[in-house]
Structure 1
């Protein structure tokens, strides 16, 4: 994390990195400048470091959201993640291939040292115009990656530089530069009282497997056995739960039988007339019923009665029956 001077600090540190690693291949004085390619190409050996584009890092775009507490206090300040795109050009006497020698030295240096060293960042921050830069304190390192531009993209890039002739150059991307906001988050409160407990399931105050927290004042659900006091009481708790379930089932069966018997009694009472018919006996079938009495062999045995009717039962109210209420 760093302040707004990080962008300029990276540019100056990159120029120092190229300048400090020109030797031993380059045995001439080379000027490394942090500016765009000049419209009038210099004849002296020169390297220009030009920051032509600053873009947001796509992978870190949504990870810098502001985090605040419910009362509005800042818990995490935002940080902008940036990618820096540099155009590095080389100038010199073309007959001696000075530009190509300089570009070769630049590529070798950035390939050998792809991460910006901290000592170069501190040296760049000592410039008067970069006083106050805290890029060296940032835990995030800046890495340089070469970019491959085709002819069309290269022509568009140099087309933005009006009246600037093309020069041999390479393009590098510096990632990742994080810029912090001005506000500082409120520090977290220290732990005042540590409270760490280890309880087995079923102990008072321990969470139940179903998500219900037990305890001395907790009310167990209906039909459930009370929580066991320890892990060794689990069989006893299971037995009590089984007995409680059996008792509930028995009570439900008795209540159902009682309700069924009452319904049958009410139905019977509703079907009996106020007074029985003649010939009905106490405790016997009702007068309204058509109960038949089989005599002799009966209809089931295929026998005959005194009337000569086969397979039929005589009605109790037929004349001449002993139970018809008349005397023979």
Structure 2
């Protein structure tokens, strides 16, 4: 992370990086200036480093907001993630192709050293206008990537430079540059006590009355034995109790029913049926009394009391 001077610091460091690596291809004095191309092209060999656009980095848009604790204290301050777009132009004697030689040296340097070195950053920070910059302390290093531009984009870019003649140039993108806020975050409190609990997959965690945080070994031991004990209890107690109760109650009820109801009902029915049968046997048949059956008349003439009473009952 760095402060608001990071943009200018990267521009100055890029100019120093190009200037320090022009040799051995370039055997002449070359000026490397962090400014936009001049309306009057210089006669001496010159390389200009022009920052023409600053855009937000799309990959870090979700991480630029500050982080605060529950009481509102700042834990992490806001940081804007930016990409810097540079236009690097070369000037020199066209008869000796100085501009093309300079552009070739620039491309070779940034391809060989794509990440901005820390010593170059520290050297650029020695400038009096960059004395308060803290880019050298940033963890994230700036990386340079070449950018391709077609004819339309190139014409639009140079069209923004009013009355500036076109010269051979290359475009590079520098990422990632962070600019932090000024509010100082409050350091988080250190961890006073840590506890580790190991539970098998699918096991229910114990409540507040479970193992204490100071005895992780017992917690792990109980958690390992939990799946072995739980099925044994459920298999022994629950299914074994229900059949025992049913089997204990069923014979008692059956014996009580057979001992109280069955013997009592059988003699009553037998005693009730015996007089009825005796009555049917002793009572004469009505058809015999009417004289329709010869066997009835024979029995009636035999002098039985039932046969003698027959005519009287018929008259009645």
Q: TM-score when scaled to structure 1?
A: 0.68
Match of 1:64?
Answer: 64
Cα displacement string for residues 269-305 of structure 1 (whole angstroms, at most 9, x for unaligned residues): xxxxxxxxxxx997559x9xxxxxxxxxxxxxxxxxx
> Relative contact order (C-alpha < 8 Å, sep 6+): which is higher?
2
Q: Tell me: CA distance 1:24–1:324, structure 2 relative to 1, closer, same or farther (3 Å).
A: farther
Match of 1:131?
Answer: 131
Q: Tell me: CA distance 1:46–1:284, structure 2 relative to 1, closer, same or farther (3 Å).
A: farther
Q: Tell me: CA distance 1:236–1:69, structure 2 relative to 1, closer, same or farther (3 Å).
A: closer
Using the TM superposition, give the Cα deviation of residue 130 of structure 1 relative to its aligned residue in structure 2, in angstroms.
Answer: 0.9
Give the Cα–Cα distance (whole angstroms) in 2 for the partners of residues 88 and 208 of structure 1.
60
Instruction: State which of 239, 246, 263 in structure 1 corresponds to 2:239.
Output: 246
Q: Tell me: CA distance 1:214–1:21, structure 2 relative to 1, closer, same or farther (3 Å).
A: closer
Match of 2:304?
Answer: none
Aligned to 2:95, the other structure's residue is in SS state helix
Q: TM-score when scaled to structure 2?
A: 0.71
Give the Cα–Cα distance (whole angstroms) in 2 for the partners of residues 254 and 229 of structure 1.
37
Using the TM superposition, give the Cα deviation of residue 121 of structure 1 relative to its aligned residue in structure 2, in angstroms.
Answer: 0.6
Higher helix share: 2
1:39 aligns with 2:46: no
Give the Cα–Cα distance (whole angstroms) in 1 for the partners of residues 246 and 5 of structure 2.
84
Using the TM superposition, give the Cα deviation of residue 327 of structure 1 relative to its aligned residue in structure 2, in angstroms.
Answer: 4.2
Give the Cα–Cα distance (whole angstroms) in 1 for the partners of residues 14 and 96 of structure 2.
26
Using the TM superposition, give the Cα deviation of residue 20 of structure 1 relative to its aligned residue in structure 2, in angstroms.
Answer: 1.3
Identify unmatched segments of 5+ residues in structure 2.
212-220, 255-264, 284-316
Q: Tell me: CA distance 1:249–1:172, structure 2 relative to 1, closer, same or farther (3 Å).
A: same
1:3 aligns with 2:3: yes
Cα displacement string for residues 53-82 of structure 1 (whole angstroms, at most 9, x for unaligned residues): 111111122123322211111222222211
- 80-89 or 183-192: which moved more? 183-192
Q: How does 1:1-328 map to 2 (within 5 A)?
A: 1-192=1-192, 194-196=193-195, 210-213=203-206, 238-250=231-243, 253=246, 284=269, 322=277, 327-328=282-283
Match of 2:290?
Answer: none
Cα displacement string for residues 163-221 of structure 1 (whole angstroms, at most 9, x for unaligned residues): 111110000111111122212222121233x354677x7xxxxx995313168679xxx
Using the TM superposition, give the Cα deviation of residue 254 of structure 1 relative to its aligned residue in structure 2, in angstroms.
Answer: 7.4
What is the root-mean-square deviation of aligned Cα atoms in Å?
Answer: 3.8
Give the Cα–Cα distance (whole angstroms) in 2 for the partners of residues 31 and 230 of structure 1.
73
Q: Determine which structure has more spread, i.e. the larger CA radius of gyration.
A: 2
Give the Cα–Cα distance (whole angstroms) in 2 for the partners of residues 123 and 324 of structure 1.
140
